[in-house]
A and B are shown apart, each in its own frame.
Chain A
Amino acid sequence: MVAKTRRKKRLERSIKVRCEGLYALSSWSEIAYLMAPRVLLILGLLVIPFYVDMYWQRVLCSAGIYALLALSFDFLAAYVGLVCLGGALFIGIGGYIAGLLNHYFHLSPFVTIPIATIVGAAISTLVLIPCLRLRGIYFAIVSFMLPLFAVYIIIALNVFGGTEGISALDTFPSISLELYLILAAVLAALFAIRRLVNEDMGIILRGVKDNDQAVRASGISITAYKIRAVFMAALLGCFGGAYLGHLYGWLGISLFAMDFSILPIAATVMGGMGSLVGPVLGAFILTPMSEALRGFGQLRVVLYCLILIAFMVYKPEGIMNILQRKYHQFEKWEEV
Chain B
Amino acid sequence: MTILEIKDLMVFYENAIAINNVHLACRRGEVTGVFGANSAGKSTLMYTISGIILDVKKKEKMRGGERITVLGSILYESKDIMAVEASERARMGIVLCPERRRIFQESTVLENLKIGGILAKREQGKKTMEYVFNLFPHLRNLKKREGGFLSGGEQQMLAIGRALMAQPKLLLLDEPLLGLSPLMEEILAVAVKNINSQTGITTLISEQYARPILPIIHYGYVLENGSAVLEGTSEELTDNPDVKSAYFGL
| Contact in complex: A316, B63 (CB < 8 Å) | yes
| Contact in complex: B64, A7 (CB < 8 Å) | no
A177-229 interface (Cβ within 8 A of B): none
| Contact in complex: A316, B71 (CB < 8 Å) | no
| Contact in complex: B64, A10 (CB < 8 Å) | no
| Contact in complex: B71, A317 (CB < 8 Å) | no
B10 contacts partner chain A, Cβ-Cβ < 8 Å: yes
Among B10, B64, B67, which residue has the most Cβ atoms of chain A within 10 A?
Answer: B64
Q: Note all chain B residues with C-beta closer than 8 A to A5.
A: 71
How far, in Å, is A10 (CB) from chain B's closest CB? 6
Q: Note all chain A residues with C-beta closer than 8 A to B10.
A: 336
A7 to chain B: closest residue by CB: B69
| Contact in complex: B71, A4 (CB < 8 Å) | yes
| Contact in complex: B71, A10 (CB < 8 Å) | no
B183 contacts partner chain A, Cβ-Cβ < 8 Å: no
| Contact in complex: A11, B67 (CB < 8 Å) | no
| Contact in complex: B63, A7 (CB < 8 Å) | no
How far, in Å, is B83 (CB) from chain A's closest CB? 12
A272 to chain B: closest residue by CB: B64
| Contact in complex: A322, B64 (CB < 8 Å) | yes
| Contact in complex: B67, A10 (CB < 8 Å) | yes
How far, in Å, is A278 (CB) from chain B's closest CB? 12
Q: Note all chain B residues with C-beta closer than 8 A to A316.
A: 62-63
How far, in Å, is B221 (CB) from chain A's closest CB? 21
Given the complex of chains A and B, what is the CA–CA distance between A321 and B62 in angstroms? 12
Q: Note all chain A residues with C-beta closer than 8 A to B12.
A: 7
Given the complex of chains A and B, what is the CA–CA distance between A322 and B62 in angstroms? 11
The answer, among A8, A11, A325, A336, for a CB contact under 8 Å with B64, is A325
Given the complex of chains A and B, what is the CA–CA distance between A5 and B45 in angstroms? 19
Q: Note all chain B residues with C-beta closer than 8 A to A325.
A: 64
The answer, among A9, A11, A317, for a CB contact under 8 Å with B62, is A317
How far, in Å, is B172 (CB) from chain A's closest CB? 25
Contact of A11 with B15 at beta-carbon distance under 8 Å, contacts A4-B71, A336-B10, A336-B71 already known: yes
Q: Note all chain A residues with C-beta closer than 8 A to B186.
A: none
Given the complex of chains A and B, what is the CA–CA distance between A321 and B10 in angstroms? 28
A309-330 interface (Cβ within 8 A of B): 316-317, 321-322, 325
How far, in Å, is B11 (CB) from chain A's closest CB? 11
| Contact in complex: A9, B71 (CB < 8 Å) | no
Q: Note all chain A residues with C-beta closer than 8 A to B71.
A: 4-5, 7, 336
A11 to chain B: closest residue by CB: B15
Given the complex of chains A and B, what is the CA–CA distance between A6 and B69 in angstroms? 10
B77 contacts partner chain A, Cβ-Cβ < 8 Å: no
Given the complex of chains A and B, what is the CA–CA distance between A4 and B7 in angstroms? 13
Given the complex of chains A and B, what is the CA–CA distance between A8 and B15 in angstroms? 9
Q: Note all chain B residues with C-beta closer than 8 A to A4.
A: 71
Q: Note all chain A residues with C-beta closer than 8 A to B15.
A: 9-11
Given the complex of chains A and B, what is the CA–CA distance between A317 and B69 in angstroms? 20
B45-82 interface (Cβ within 8 A of A): 62-64, 67, 69, 71
How far, in Å, is A321 (CB) from chain B's closest CB? 5
B73 to chain A: closest residue by CB: A4
The answer, among A8, A317, A321, A322, for a CB contact under 8 Å with B67, is A8
Q: B2-36 CB contact bits vs A (8 Å, 1 = yes)? A: 00000000101011000000000000000000000
Instruction: Please name 9 further chain A to chain B contacts, defined as beta carbons within 8 Å, in addition to the given A4-B71, A317-B64, sorted by A numbering.
Output: A7-B71, A10-B14, A10-B15, A10-B67, A11-B15, A316-B63, A317-B62, A317-B63, A325-B64
22 A-B pairs in the complex with CB atoms less than 8 angstroms apart: A4-B71, A5-B71, A7-B12, A7-B69, A7-B71, A8-B67, A8-B69, A9-B15, A10-B14, A10-B15, A10-B67, A11-B15, A316-B62, A316-B63, A317-B62, A317-B63, A317-B64, A321-B64, A322-B64, A325-B64, A336-B10, A336-B71
